[in-house]
Amino acid sequence: MTIFDSEIKTIHAPSEAVFAKLTNIQNLDQLAGSTPHEKLKISRVTADTCFFEVDIIGEIGIKLVDKKPNSLLFFQSEQSPMAFNLSINLTDKQEDTDIHIQLKADLPMMIKMMASEPINKFINILADTLTTLSY
């Protein structure tokens, strides 16, 4: 199992508001076409799944499958070229919330060598982008 961790980012809103916003996947549709990063493109959003275009990798989907109020959102890959899970960890800091994204995937060595950098970029850009939502 290969583990990729984002940098810890701060969202200037309480964890309750961040959790409420992110548990409704359709709220991520606000980011489609307006992300500040060319590397992160949201291709489509359904009721429970968000699909991204990631350089070199192609389209990947994440489906919300579990959550712990105000602290954790757990996603699994959906219609993606590789199986993975992604967690968004929220840490309450009074008026602010720290966010940390972790992606775990079983990658063959050759794929790991080619995909590690794009995956690291993806989760860090995703963390950055989530700080731009209004909560």
Question: DSSP secondary-structure letter at 31?
Answer: G
Question: Tens of pLDDT along 17-59?
Answer: 999 999 988 887 776 655 555 556 788 888 889 888 876 678 8
What's the rounded Cα separation, in Å, for the pair 83 and 68?
Answer: 22
Question: Tens of pLDDT along 72-121?
Answer: 999 999 988 889 999 999 999 989 999 999 999 988 888 888 889 988 98
Q: Which pLDDT belongs to residue 13?
A: 97
- Give which of 65, 37, 66 is closest to 52, Cα–Cα: 37
Pairing of strands 9-11, 2-5: unpaired
For the chain, what are the domain ranges?
A: 2-130
Q: Which pLDDT belongs to residue 81?
A: 80
- Backbone φ, ψ for residue 46 (5° rounding): -115, -170
Beta carbons within 10 angstroms of residue 7's beta carbon: 12
Q: Which pLDDT belongs to residue 65?
A: 96
Spell out the CATH class of 2-130: alpha beta
